[in-house]
């Protein structure tokens, strides 16, 4: 018996839902979304959470998720068939509406659901009566392996063995089903991989072989100085999130004064790792196809003396689409990018690989510039001066969920402003999280050491009304002729209605010039979901006919995502709001502006 069946969009809108009990399933479904769907894990479509088994099917065309939940102790043999059948029925019935993106309509699906479920249940009963037969070779897993996948390579031996241990542990009775622990193992393995990746990034300058026992010994004994430096640089880290009013120790590190003067003028663009690297890759792909790993290699097949047609390009464009989706680019944006490349190449004769690759690169850059060009331009320095001429402070409010880097990036933005001769008042309106005010106090002290008297803190401790404190701070800044007010707000989950209502009130009452949403690039498309919901909640709860929603985005921890830049594109694409700042590390200078070239470069890797 099924406990729950739900159809929802990847953006989180429930299209249709059936529940046979009054239990609350949202924690299990949320866990599935967080641990499987958002991480875009492929493979097994079963996920276990507490006593429940959840099985899901994705519809990538319409970005839908079909989920079934049932008690884990039940052995329901028809769930795979049911998911396939119900998916087809739903698509067939509502194809036109789905194409039109109508997710909020009333889907009258109960009769079809009952019919399909009944059919599948009787199918399962009839299957149970058939005596079990041995699997043929064609049915077995071995027949599905390609020859290439069976070749054992030297370096892979070890990892295969460790996988085996996991398998042995998780299948004590030889069954082919995944055990509940399997999920945790995979998550743990993924986390370990991420940690390894980050550590490797920080240590990339170290040339010692990790295999050498001497190197390992040294690593264990030596204090990990690089951690204090925020990545591989020797600058003091800004992580004061656990700071309880104590200045961070920077013994042995260069002083902050090295940072002085580095942030004057407009925010610098994100650096493309090496300007010539894409060209180098084109060369490499051209001269030695085996070495190429980036997107260019996909286009090798298009070199020829015939004019390119839709048909010849189709397989290549499909691969390009998969490549982009692999970088977290949402399906509709990937389609758009592929379409623009197809239009540019259609009918052309591209005799050399160089010409194909350069055309693709130029087209992608052009398309991305279009997507990343926001509805409106945000020029904070100019607007601050304009407000100053009007005799009032320029006010910016920062919002987002907890831990995304609001306070840290607020401090970086503050540093940029004071580097540009503006005075700043930070309003400590996170009156909720213990340590939030102290964290800001530490930042103010350090910033004051760099530009004496340029930064002030307005704080009223904890538990008070944040909207009221912001209002007092703005008044204080106006009276004291301070140029800019930066309002730090408490982190809140996008679905927490009372807290979102409070944020809407803070914004409505204080009318900041700029409301910035802070999201971390690290969580990929989850950040897009947060942004969309913050925007929606601000509109819903503002009780104004012209609500003030999000004006711009601060995308933090960009330094940790490698080349998975898709979420950044989706954020601007969906809301039309600009990514005003990109946080790229933990020092005051790690603040950049997003530019299409850097994004194209990452996408092409």
Among 419, 526, 529, 559, binds ligand GDP (CB under 6 A): 559
Enumerate helices (H) and strands (E) in the chain, giving the number of each.
19, 13
Contact range with ligand GDP by CB under 6 A, out of 51-59, 180-188, 235-243, 347-355: 235-243
Site for ligand GDP (CB under 6 A): which residue of 548, 557, 592, 601?
557
Of the candidates 36, 98, 404, 429, which one interacts with ligand GDP according to CB under 6 A? 404
Contact 96, 84 (CB under 8 A): no
Residue 238 is a binding residue for ligand GDP (CB under 6 A): yes
From the list 24-32, 126-134, 173-181, 552-560, the region that binds ligand GDP by CB under 6 A is: 552-560
Question: Are the C-beta atoms of residues 575 and 215 closer than 8 Å to each other?
Answer: no
Left (φ > 0), alpha (ψ -120 to 50) or beta: where does 264 sit?
beta
**53 sits near ligand GDP (criterion: CB under 6 A):** no
| Binding-site string for ligand GDP from residue 181 to residue 220, where x marks contact by CB under 6 A and - marks none | ----------------------------------------
Least Å distance, CB 129 to ligand GDP, is 59
542 binds ligand GDP (CB under 6 A): no
Q: Decide: is 408 part of the binding site for ligand GDP (CB under 6 A).
A: yes
Binding letters toward ligand GDP, positions 429-468, x by CB under 6 A: ----------------------------------------
Decide if residue 229 touches ligand GDP (CB under 6 A): no
Instruction: Give phi and psi for 278, each to the nearest 5.
Output: -65, -40
Spell out the alpha helix ranges (H) of 346-434: 353-372, 380-389, 406-419
Q: Cβ closer to ligand GDP: 510 or 586?
A: 586
Locate 541 and state its tokens: 């709860």
Judged by beta carbon, residue 485 or residue 521, the one nearer ligand GDP is 521
Residue 557 or 601 with smaller CB distance to ligand GDP? 557
Residues binding ligand GDP: number (CB under 6 A): 21
Q: What are phi and psi of 8, to 5 degrees?
A: -140, 160
From CA 463, how far away is CA 166, in angstroms rounded? 48
Segment interacting with ligand GDP (CB under 6 A) among 184-192, 236-244, 533-541, 572-580: 236-244
Residues 6 or more apart whose Cβ sits within 8 Å of residue 47: 31, 32, 35, 36, 53, 54, 55, 56, 183
Under the criterion CB under 6 A, does residue 243 sit at the interface with ligand GDP? no
Task: For residue 455, list its beta bridge partners.
Answer: 424
Q: Which range binds ligand GDP by CB under 6 A, 83-91, 123-131, 330-338, 583-591?
A: 583-591
By beta-carbon proximity to ligand GDP, the closer residue of 327 and 557 is 557
Q: What gap in Å lies between CA 272 and CA 553, rounded to an integer?
A: 21
> Which residues have a Cβ under 8 Å from the Cβ of 152 and sit 6 or more positions away?
160
Backbone angles phi, psi at 299, to 5 degrees: -90, 0
Phi-psi region of 593 (alpha: psi -120 to 50; beta: other; left: phi over 0): beta
Strand partners, 55: 46, 68
Contact status, residue 556 vs residue 404, Cβ threshold 8 Å:
yes
Given 28, 278, 535, 586, the residue binding ligand GDP (CB under 6 A): 586
Whichever of 393 and 585 has its CB closer to ligand GDP, that residue is: 585
The one among 10, 323, 361, 406 contacting ligand GDP by CB under 6 A: 406
User: How near is the Cβ of 248 to ligand GDP at its closest, in Å?
Assistant: 11
Among residues 232 and 402, whose Cβ is nearest to ligand GDP?
402
Quick one: which segment of 73-81, 210-218, 303-311, 578-586 binds ligand GDP (CB under 6 A)? Answer: 578-586
CA atoms of 35 and 38, how far apart (whole Å)? 7
- What torsion do the CA atoms of 112, 114, 116, 118 make, to the nearest 10 degrees? -150
Stretch of 184-192, 413-421, 465-473, 553-561 contacting ligand GDP, by CB under 6 A = 553-561
Q: List for the chain the helix, strand, coil content (%; round to 5).
A: 50, 10, 40
> Which positions from 472 to 511 touch ligand GDP by CB under 6 A, shown as an x/- string?
-------------------x--------------------
Candidates 239, 269, 283, 383; binder of ligand GDP (CB under 6 A) is 239
Task: Rank residues 32 and 515 by Cβ distance to ligand GDP and give the closer one.
Answer: 515
If one asks whether residue 250 binds ligand GDP (CB under 6 A), the answer comes out as no
Residue from 519, 552, 578, 585 that binds ligand GDP (CB under 6 A)? 585
Q: Which stretch binds ligand GDP (CB under 6 A): 10-18, 70-78, 384-392, 556-564?
A: 556-564
Cα–Cα distance for residue pair 589/261, rounded to 1 Å: 10
Task: Please name the helix (run of DSSP H) or strand (run of DSSP E) that holds residue 461, with its range, or none.
Answer: none
- Both tokens of residue 255? 């002083």
Min. distance of Cβ 448 from ligand GDP in angstroms?
Answer: 19
Strand partners, 517: 399, 553
* Rounded Cα gap, residues 429 and 486, in angstroms: 10
Q: Is 409 in the site for ligand GDP (CB under 6 A)?
A: yes
For residue 472, give the H/E element and its range: helix 466-479
Q: For residues 450 and 446, what is the distance between their CA atoms, to the nearest angstrom?
A: 7
Bridge partners of 519, per DSSP, are 555
Residue with tokens 């299948």, as numbered in its chain: 171
Rule CB under 6 A: say whether 530 interacts with ligand GDP: no
Instruction: Find the shortest distance in angstroms from Cβ 40 to ligand GDP.
Output: 22
The length of the chain in residues reads: 605
Q: How far is residue 464's CA from residue 436's CA, in Å, rounded to a whole number?
A: 13
Pick out residues in 332-371 that bind ligand GDP (CB under 6 A).
none
Among 297, 584, 587, 597, binds ligand GDP (CB under 6 A): 584
Would you count residue 294 as binding ligand GDP (CB under 6 A)? no
- When asked if residue 583 is in the footprint of ligand GDP (CB under 6 A), the reply is yes
* b/e map 61-82, b = 16+ CB within 10 Å: ebbbbbbbbbeeeeebebbeeb
Pick between residue 491 and residue 578 the one whose CB is nearest to ligand GDP.
491
Pairing of strands 579-583, 552-556: parallel
Residue 405 interacts with ligand GDP (CB under 6 A): yes or no:
yes
Q: Single out the residue of 55, 442, 560, 570 in contact with ligand GDP (rule: CB under 6 A).
A: 560
Site for ligand GDP contains 407 (CB under 6 A): yes
Q: Which is nearer to ligand GDP, 294 or 585 (CB)?
A: 585
Instruction: Note the residues at the interface with ligand GDP (CB under 6 A).
Output: 238-239, 241, 402-409, 491, 556-557, 559-560, 583-586, 590
């Amino acid at each position: 018996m099924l406990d729950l069946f739900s159809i929802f969009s990847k953006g989180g809108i429930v299209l249709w839902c059936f529940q046979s009990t009054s239990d609350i399933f949202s924690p299990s479904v949320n866990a599935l979304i967080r641990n499987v769907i958002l991480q875009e894990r492929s493979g097994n479509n079963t996920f276990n959470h507490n006593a429940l088994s959840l099985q899901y099917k994705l519809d990538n065309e319409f970005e839908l998720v079909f989920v079934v939940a049932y008690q884990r102790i039940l052995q329901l043999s028809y769930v795979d068939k049911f998911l396939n059948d119900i998916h087809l029925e739903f698509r067939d019935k509502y194809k036109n509406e789905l194409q039109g993106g109508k997710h909020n309509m009333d889907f009258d699906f109960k009769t079809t659901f009952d019919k399909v479920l009944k059919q599948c249940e009787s199918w399962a009963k009839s299957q149970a009566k058939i005596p079990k037969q041995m699997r043929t070779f064609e049915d077995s897993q071995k027949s599905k392996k390609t020859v290439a996948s069976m070749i054992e390579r030297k370096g892979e031996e070890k990892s295969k063995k460790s996988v085996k241990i996991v398998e042995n542990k998780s299948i004590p009775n030889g069954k082919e089903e995944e055990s509940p622990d399997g999920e945790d193992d995979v998550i743990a393995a993924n986390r370990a991989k991420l940690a390894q990746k980050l550590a490797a990034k920080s240590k990339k300058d170290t040339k010692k072989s990790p295999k050498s026992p001497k190197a390992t010994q040294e690593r264990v004994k030596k204090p990990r100085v690089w951690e204090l430096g925020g990545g591989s640089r020797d600058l003091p880290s800004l992580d004061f999130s656990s700071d309880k009013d104590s200045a961070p120790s920077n013994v042995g590190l260069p002083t902050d004064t090295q940072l002085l003067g580095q942030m004057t003028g407009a925010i610098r663009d994100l650096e493309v790792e090496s300007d010539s690297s894409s060209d180098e890759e084109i060369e490499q792909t051209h001269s030695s196809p085996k070495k190429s790993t980036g997107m260019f290699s996909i286009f090798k097949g298009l070199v020829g003396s015939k004019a390119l047609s839709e048909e010849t390009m189709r397989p290549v464009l499909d691969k390009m689409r998969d490549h982009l989706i692999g970088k977290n680019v949402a399906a509709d944006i990937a389609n758009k990018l592929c379409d623009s490349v197809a239009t540019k190449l259609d009918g052309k004769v591209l005799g050399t690989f160089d010409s194909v690759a350069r055309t693709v690169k130029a087209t992608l850059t052009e398309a991305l510039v279009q997507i990343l060009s926001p509805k409106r331009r945000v020029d904070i320095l100019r607007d601050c001066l304009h407000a100053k001429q009007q005799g009032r402070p320029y006010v910016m409010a920062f919002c987002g969920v907890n831990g995304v880097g609001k306070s840290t990036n607020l401090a970086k933005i503050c540093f940029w402003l004071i580097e540009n001769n503006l005075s700043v008042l930070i309003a400590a309106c996170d009156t909720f999280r213990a340590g939030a005010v102290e964290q800001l106090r530490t930042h103010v002290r350090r910033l004051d050491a760099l530009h004496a008297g340029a930064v002030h803190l307005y704080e009223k401790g904890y538990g008070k009304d944040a909207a009221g404190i912001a209002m007092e701070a703005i008044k204080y800044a106006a009276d004291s002729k301070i140029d800019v007010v930066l309002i730090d707000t408490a982190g809140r989950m996008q679905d927490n209605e009372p807290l979102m209502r409070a944020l809407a009130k803070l914004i409505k009452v204080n009318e900041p010039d700029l409301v910035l949403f802070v999201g971390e690039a690290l969580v990929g498309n989850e950040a897009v979901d947060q942004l969309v919901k913050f925007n929606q909640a601000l509109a819903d709860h503002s009780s104004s006919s012209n609500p003030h929603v999000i004006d711009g985005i601060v995308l933090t921890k960009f330094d940790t995502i490698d080349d998975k830049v898709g979420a950044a594109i989706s954020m601007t694409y969906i809301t039309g709001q600009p990514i005003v700042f990109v946080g790229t590390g933990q020092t005051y200078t790690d603040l950049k502006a997003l530019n299409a070239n850097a994004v194209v470069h990452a996408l092409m890797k």
